[in-house]
Structure 1
Amino acid sequence: MEVTGVCSICGRPGKLHTCMLCGSLVCSRCITEKGVCIRHSDGKSFPGQKSFV
């Protein structure tokens, strides 16, 4: 199933992916090859959250 909408980081419309760390819906420009958004690409997660990177 393809999810489309507006990226929660850059605001561009299009196909969205889910960040494995925070669950944000982001476009292909704002997600890394590891499946995390560019906000969490340094491997940091929210307190109490498991890191998948």
Structure 2
Amino acid sequence: MNASGLCDICGKPDVDHVCDRCGRLVCERHYDDGHGVCTECATELGLGDEHVDPDDLPNDVDIYRF
């Protein structure tokens, strides 16, 4: 689905998807095609992989530990 606006997660243009769960407008990078949800919802639901992209971390943070 093509939508207009900015990605609700990273703020970049070229939004391509709408999350089926929360309705966020997200870019290809922040959409889980297999589940039809954004990466935020996929994380909340325990879906997807455990890989953390360094570009998604705030400045001056090297890794998240839970």
With structure 2 as the length reference, what TM-score do the two structures score? 0.56
- % identity of equivalent residues: 41
Query: Structure 1: where are the runs of 5+ without partners?
Result: 45-53
Structure 2: distance between partners of 1:13 and 1:26: 9
Q: How many residues align?
A: 44
CA RMSD after TM alignment: 1.8
Structure having the larger proportion of residues in strand: 1
- Answer whether contact 1:3 1:16 (CA < 8 A) is retained: yes
Larger RCO (CA within 8 A; separation ≥ 6): 1
- The structure with more radius of gyration: 2
With structure 1 as the length reference, what TM-score do the two structures score? 0.68
Moved over 2 A (4+): none
Structure 2: distance between partners of 1:40 and 1:2: 20
Structure having the larger proportion of residues in helix: 2
